[in-house]
Amino acid sequence: MNPPLLAICFYVTHAQVLLSEPRQLRLRKFSNSSGQIQTSRDTMIKSLLFLLLVAVANAKRFQRCEWAHKLKDSGMDGYRNISLADWVCLTKWESGYDTMKTHHNNDGSTDFGIFQINNRWWCNDKIMSFRNGCQINCKDLLSDDVTVAINCAKRVVKDPQGIAAWYGWRSHCQGRDLAPYLDGCGL
């Protein structure tokens, strides 16, 4: 779970206690920077709202055509002879176009971001990183700024496996008609 969402879960759990049992709770009062007296419940609610906004601001789930345009603008159409439709299909099945997606694999490794880049080979999460082929921190793949993720995907396909490095592509895209992934996108 990413840090902002983990913090939100913590605050939601504690906020429920604060809000559901106000008579049994001794509220501590303290002064904020402007000298106003606040209760811990007020502070908890404000903190929860702030953390929720931070989590939402850092996450993006692209729409199919929006993502196709972003990939095209980033030079992915035809990169290493891989079609734009292949990239859109791959990311649909790997992450559902979600920049904050993570997946924990049976081998103990984790996939990160919209391309589901694996920490065993391509990024460093300070837990499991044998190679770090993209020379990046895995958390940089969990951003609505997909520049790092796109550059890393370009690096992945330079290896001999190419786009077949992704299970989602092999299972759902390889050898199939991918025209529907670009239908209605004006590309």
- Residues assigned a catalytic role: 94, 111
B/e letters for 73-94, b = 16+ CB within 10 Å, e = fewer, are ebebbebeebbbbbbbbbbbbb
B/e letters for 17-26, b = 16+ CB within 10 Å, e = fewer, are ebeeeeeeee
Chain centroid offset of residue 130 CA = 22
DSSP secondary structure letters along 49-71: HHHHHHHHHH--B--HHHHHHHH
Rounded Cα distance between 109 and 69, Å, is 31
